[in-house]
Structure 1
Amino acid sequence: MTPVTSRAESAPRTADPSRALPAEAAAMAGRLSAADIHYTRRRARRLDVGVDEVLLASGVASSDELARGAARTLGVGFEPLEAGPATSPSRLHDDDMAAMLRTGLMRRADGRLVVAARGLALRRFATDLARDPRLRQRVALTSPERLAALVRRRFEVQLGWRAAYRLRERRPDLSAGTLGASRSGLALGILALAALFLIVNATSIVGTWVMAVLFSLVLLGGAILQLTACTLAPQAPTAPLRRDHALPYYTLIVPLYREARVVPQLLDALAALDYPREKLQVLLVIEPDDAATAAALAPHAGRPGFEVIVAPDAGPRTKPKAMNAALPFARGTIIGIYDAEDMPEPLQLREACAVFQRDGGERIGCVQARLAIDNLADGWITRQFAAEYAAYFDVMLPMLGAYGLPLPLGGTSNHFRREALEGVGAWDPFNVTEDADLGVRLAAAGWRTAVIASTTDEEAPRRLPAWMRQRTRWYKGWMQTLLVHSRHPRRLVQGTGLPGAVVLALLLGGGLTCSAQNRMSFREGSNVSA
C-alpha cells in the first residue's frame, strides 16, 4: 500500500477503528493503522469508489479476504460457489448469464440469492440489510472473482457459443460466417471471381482498357480523398480528463497467442498507464493450447486488477472470438483493446474518456488512438510500413473523424463505449479484419468514431513472408467486409449517409483495386518484355 506514515499526525483518532471504515471494509480495520485508514478513506472519496476497492488495488487484502470480512460484518453467509449441486445456478439463457455477471446477482437452486458486490454497490447492499434485517436469511455474499470463475466453469459451452456464433445466429446478414450460405453472398462472390478472372486474363486491348478505366476511377476517388485529408489542419491534442472521480470503470482486453516473449514488456506498458488502479481491469485472453504464454503469465496471477481468461475451444480460433469470450467478464463501461506488443502513451485512457464526456460525446461509440511503428531501423519493409501508418492514422483517420464520416478501425488501441459495442453485436469471429467490419457496423448503427492524437507504438513485420501473410489477411478481410455490407446497400446508406458509404467503398475497395492494378501492370510488363 502507498506509504502513509507522514499522514499519521493528521489522521483522526477513534476508539473503535472499525467504525472509521464503511461496511464494505470494516472488517479490515484491525489490520490498518490510523494513518492508513485516513488515507484509504480519502482516496476512496477522491475516486468515488469503495474503500475495499482501494485496499484490493493496493494489495493490502485479497478479494476473498474482503468478501469474507464483509459477510461477517453484515451478518450474512459467505458463499464460496464451489462445485456441488447446492451452489448450482438454475438453467440460464445466454442473455441471463451475461446479466448475472453484469449485476453480480445469482439465484441458487434453493431459491436463495447470492450477491457478488464490491465497492459502492456493496455499501448500498449493506444499507438495504439495515433497513430490512430479514433479508439476511435469504441472501449470501461472494466475491465477483468467484462468481466469474463459476460461470467459466459451469457454462463453458454457452460461453463458447456466445463468443463464436452469437452474431452469426442473431444477425446472419452482418456476419461473414454466412457469406457462403446466402444468395446475395453467393452472387457477390461469383461477381468477384469473374472480376478476378478478367484481371488475370485481360490480354485483349479492349479488356485491358475497360479494366484500366474502372480501376482508374476508383483510384482517382481514393486520391481525391487523400488530398482532402491532407488539407485538414493538424489535429489539436485532446486534453486528458484529470478529475479522477469523473473517470469511468475501464476494462482492457488483450488477446494473446504465442506471445510469451513479450509478456514482461506488455505488463510494464499496461502498468505505466496513468489511470486509477481501482477503476481499471485488465483481461488477458489466451488459447487453451498456449502453454508457453500461460506459463509466462503464471507468476503474475495474483497481480491486482489483472485476470487471465482461457478462450473456449469452440468455433474459429481467431482474435475476435477471443475478445468476445472476455467481454461478458468485463466490468468497465469503456472497453479498450490492445495487442501484445503495444506500448500506449500513459495518458491515452484519460484522453479517450475526455472525448466520451465532452459535449456531443454521447453519440461517440468508439475512440481510435493513433498507431505508429517503433522498429523503423529494422529494414526497408518496416520503414514503408511506418510511412503507410503515418498517412492513415495521422492524416486520413483524423479527417474522417473530424467530419463525422465512418472509418474502418485499426486493429488495436480502440476504446469502445460498451453500450455501442454490445449494441452492434461486438466482433465477428468469421471476419479476419474484424476491426474494419466493426467500424462499419458502428457507423451504420448511427455511432460516431473519434480519433485522438495519443499514440500507441507497435512493431511492423520485418520480413517479406510475414508482411505477405498480413497483407493477404487484410485483403481477404476487406473483401469480406465489402461483401457483408453490400448485401443491404440501402440500409448502409441510411446509416452512414451517401458520402459515408462512398468513403467506405473507396477505403476498402481502393486497397483491393490497387493490388489488382499492380497485378495487371506486372502482367503487361511481363508481356512487353516477352
Structure 2
Amino acid sequence: MHLLPSRPKLAVGTARTSAPPLGKLLIEQKCITPEQLDSALAFQRKSGGRLGEILVALQLVHPRELYRILADQIGIDRVNSMKPMNVHHQFPESLARQYGAVVIEECDTHLSVAVTQPLSSEERTAVSSYFSKPIREVLATPYEMERFWDQVFRSELLEESIERLHVEQPRDSAMSVLTRSQLALMIAIFVGVVVCAVMDFLRTVTVINILCQLVYFSLATFKARVLYRGMSVEAHSISDDEVKELDENELPIYTILVPLYREANVLPELIRHIENMDYPKHKLDVRLLFEEDDVETISQAERLQIPYYFTFVKVPVSQPRTKPKACNYGLIRARGEYVVIYDAEDRPEPDQLKKVLVAFRKLGKKTACVQAKLNYFNGNQNLLTRWFTQEYSNWFGILLPGVMSMKLPIPLGGTSNHFRMSVLKQINAWDPYNVTEDADLGVRLYKSGHTTGIVDSTTWEEANSRLYNWVKQRTRWIKGYMQTWLVHMRNPWRLYRQLGGRGFWGFQAIVLGTPLLPLMNPPFWVMMFLWFFQHQKWIPEIFPGPIYYMAACLLVMGNFFFVYSGVVGTYQFSERYMHVPGVLSFRLVRSAIISPLYWALMSIAAYRAVWQLVVNPFYWEKTRHGLTRSTRQSGQSVGITT
C-alpha cells in the first residue's frame, strides 16, 4: 500500500484540475505549519518519496486528515464506513490485490470500490467491465484498507498462508512428518534390531555401537573442519564509507515482519529500536503480526502511539499455530523489495538494513538471503545466559562463516534473515508446519540454486535466563531440525541430485547432526561412568580395538577441540563486539570451559523433542521474553509519542 503523492495519478473525469498543491491545502486546513512543510520537503529532497508518505512517517499529520484533504483535492469521496455493506459481487482476491481495490458497497446503479490511490483510466475500465456495472471510487487510508481486506478476504489469505507450500511443493511440506515408506522403513529397522538382539544381544549391541562411533566420528570431524575454516574466514564486512555512499533517493521499500504473541511487556522497547534504525521511515513497511486472540498485546499496541508506518496485522486463530504461518500471512500484502524478520525482543544495529543492501549488491543476484549475526545483550546475567552467548558466538562467529565458505546449505537463524522478496515468494516462503522454519528455508533456498551470505552486523537478543524456558525453546529447535531432515530425506536420491554431493553430505552433518549428537551423548556418558566406577566387563567387549581408540580420541581430543573453539569464539566476540573489560571477558570464557554441562542440557531437550515429534509434532512452545531486569525496566519507561 502506498500513500498518495502530492500530485497523484487521477481517474478520468474525477479530478479537479485546478486543485492547489497538497502542502498548501494542508497549511490552509491548519493540519501542518509552514515550518513542518519545509522540514518534510527537505527530507524529500534528501531521501525521495512522496510528500504524503513523508508527512505521515514523520508523524506530522494523521492519515485520516491527509486522506480527507487528498480526497477533496482529487474530487472523490472518502470512505464513510468501516464495514462492507450489501456486497453481492466481489473481486477474486488475486485480482483485488492486482488493482489494490476492494468492493465495499453495492447499489442498484453502481459499486463503491475502496482504493488507497485512484485507479488509472485503464484499470477503471477493466474493473467496470469485470462487474458490468459502473464503479465509484472512495479513498481509504492504508489502515482502513487493511480492515477491509481482513473482513472480505480473510479465508483466502489464511488458506494461502497455510496451504500454498503443501499444494505447490508437497514433497517439501512438513504437513505430514513421516511418509508411509519412511514409517515402514523405521518399523522394519526396529523389528530387525529386536530380532537380532534376541538372537545375540552382545553382538547386536556391538554392531550398533560401532555404527554410532563411526557416525559420531564423521560428524565430529566434519564440525571440526567447519570450525577450522570458520576461524580463517569472516562474515562479509561492510564499511561505514560504503554505507554512507548509498543514495537514500534510491533506497527500496523494506518490509519488516515482527511476529508477536504475548509480548506486551517488550513491545515499547521493540518500537523504540525499530524507530532508531537508520533508514527513511517512509520507505519502511513495518508489519506487526498479532495473533487475533492475543488481547493483551493488541491492547498494549493500541495504547501506545505507534508511528503510522507500522501496520497492525491480526492473524486469524487456526492450526497450525506457528510463527511461520503468521509470517506467511503478513507477507501476502507486504510491499517491500526486501524483507526481514525481527523477533519481539530484538535490538538490530541501526545501520543493519543499509549494510544488508550493500551486501546484496556486492554478492550478486544469486544471493537470495543475507543473515545478520545474532547475539545477546544480557550474556552475563547468569551461567545459563553465558553458555547461550558462548554458543551463539561460536555459531555465528565461526561455524556459519565456515559453512558459507564451504558452499553448503546454511541453516538460517529465526530472526534477522534478510530476503529478496521476489525469491522468497517464488519458493512459497516458510513452511507453516515446521517449528524450525528457518533451517528448512535455508535448505529450500539451496535447492533452488540460491546462496546465502553472512553479514557482519549484529542483532542483539535476550538470552533465556530461566532453565525451563530455555529447555522449551531448545526442544522446539531440535524438533524442527528433525522435521526438516525427515521432510527432505523422503527421497534421498532426489535430494542428492538437487543438492549435489557436497550439499547432500553437508545437509546430513548440519541438519541431522544437530539433534543426533545430543541424543547419542547420554548413552556414551553412562557407559563411561559404568566403566570408570564399576568396571562393567561387557563394556570393553563392545569396543573392539580400532573403535576403542577412535572413541578415546573423541573423548579426549574431540572434547578439548570443541571446548577450545567455544573459548576462542567467546573471547573474540567479547573483545570485538562487547568491548568488555578483562574481568567480564574472563567470566564469559570461564563459562565456555565448563560447557560440557551445557551439552547435558541439550541432551535433555533432544529427548524431549523426540517425544514431542511423536505426540505433538506441530506444537509451538512459546518462549517468554522480557525476563531480563534491564529489559523490564526499560519497557516501563519507554513511550512512543507523536
Bin of the TM-score, shorter chain as denominator length: 0.7 to 0.9
Partner of 2:400: 397
Given the alignment, which residue of 245, 251, 254 partners 1:250?
254
CA contact (8 A) 2:235 2:456 kept: no
Partner of 2:75: 75
Structure 1 alignment gaps of length 5 or more? 1-17, 130-135
CA contact (8 A) 1:160 1:315 kept: no
Write the distance in 2 (CA, Å) between the matches of 1:221 and 1:190. 30
By how many angstroms is 1:285 displaced? 1.6
The alignment partner of 2:470 has SS state of: helix
The alignment partner of 2:261 has SS state of: coil
Given the alignment, which residue of 450, 457, 464 partners 1:454?
457
Between 335-344 and 297-306, report the one with greater CA deviation.
297-306
Partner of 2:561: none
The alignment partner of 2:359 has SS state of: helix
Write the distance in 2 (CA, Å) between the matches of 1:499 and 1:454. 28
- 1:365-444 aligned at under 5 Å gives the runs 365-402=368-405, 404-444=407-447
By how many angstroms is 1:196 displaced? 11
Given the alignment, which residue of 183, 186, 197 partners 1:186?
183
The alpha-carbon distance between structure 1 residues 234 and 291, as it changes in their structure 2 partners (threshold 3 A), is closer
CA contact (8 A) 1:26 1:70 kept: no
- 1:176-325 aligned at under 5 Å gives the runs 176-180=174-178, 182-187=179-184, 190=187, 204-232=205-233, 235-238=236-239, 239-240=242-243, 242-300=246-304, 302-325=306-329
Aligned residues: 495
Partner of 2:96: 100
By how many angstroms is 1:487 displaced? 2.2
Question: Which deviations, in whole Å up to 9, do the C-alpha atoms of 1:225-264 show, x marking residues without a partner?
Answer: 2222222256533533632112111111111122222112
Moved beyond 6 Å, runs of 4+: 126-129, 191-199
Partner of 2:167: 169
CA contact (8 A) 1:252 1:282 kept: yes
- 1:140-155 aligned at under 5 Å gives the runs 140-155=138-153
Write the distance in 1 (CA, Å) between the matches of 2:79 and 2:166. 37
Write the distance in 2 (CA, Å) between the matches of 1:112 and 1:401. 55
Between 386-395 and 72-81, report the one with greater CA deviation.
72-81
CA contact (8 A) 1:101 1:147 kept: no
Partner of 1:485: 488
Structure 2 alignment gaps of length 5 or more? 1-17, 125-133, 535-642
Write the distance in 2 (CA, Å) between the matches of 1:89 and 1:415. 39
Between 478-487 and 34-43, report the one with greater CA deviation.
34-43
CA contact (8 A) 2:368 2:423 kept: yes
Partner of 1:15: none
By how many angstroms is 1:338 displaced? 0.7
Question: Which deviations, in whole Å up to 9, do the C-alpha atoms of 1:293-333 show, x marking residues without a partner?
Answer: 22221212552212222211111111111112211232212
Write the distance in 1 (CA, Å) between the matches of 2:120 and 2:47. 20
Write the distance in 1 (CA, Å) between the matches of 2:276 and 2:527. 53
Matched, 1:351 2:355: yes
Matched, 1:56 2:56: yes
The alignment partner of 2:255 has SS state of: strand
Write the distance in 1 (CA, Å) between the matches of 2:476 and 2:226. 24
Q: Return the TM-score normalized by structure 2.
A: 0.70
AA partner of residue 115 (structure 2): A
By how many angstroms is 1:58 displaced? 1.8
The alpha-carbon distance between structure 1 residues 511 and 274, as it changes in their structure 2 partners (threshold 3 A), is same
Partner of 1:114: 113
Write the distance in 2 (CA, Å) between the matches of 1:346 and 1:144. 26
AA partner of residue 224 (structure 2): A
CA contact (8 A) 1:117 1:142 kept: yes
Write the distance in 2 (CA, Å) between the matches of 1:114 and 1:60. 28
Write the distance in 2 (CA, Å) between the matches of 1:196 and 1:101. 56
Question: Which deviations, in whole Å up to 9, do the C-alpha atoms of 1:415-446 show, x marking residues without a partner?
Answer: 11111111111111211100100111111112
State the identity as a percent. 32
Given the alignment, which residue of 149, 156, 159 partners 1:158?
156
AA partner of residue 335 (structure 2): R
AA partner of residue 28 (structure 1): L
The alpha-carbon distance between structure 1 residues 505 and 83, as it changes in their structure 2 partners (threshold 3 A), is same
By how many angstroms is 1:148 displaced? 1.5
The alpha-carbon distance between structure 1 residues 437 and 80, as it changes in their structure 2 partners (threshold 3 A), is farther
The alpha-carbon distance between structure 1 residues 233 and 433, as it changes in their structure 2 partners (threshold 3 A), is closer
The alignment partner of 1:261 has SS state of: coil
Write the distance in 2 (CA, Å) between the matches of 1:511 and 1:196. 24
RMSD: 3.2
CA contact (8 A) 1:335 1:416 kept: yes
The alpha-carbon distance between structure 1 residues 70 and 152, as it changes in their structure 2 partners (threshold 3 A), is same
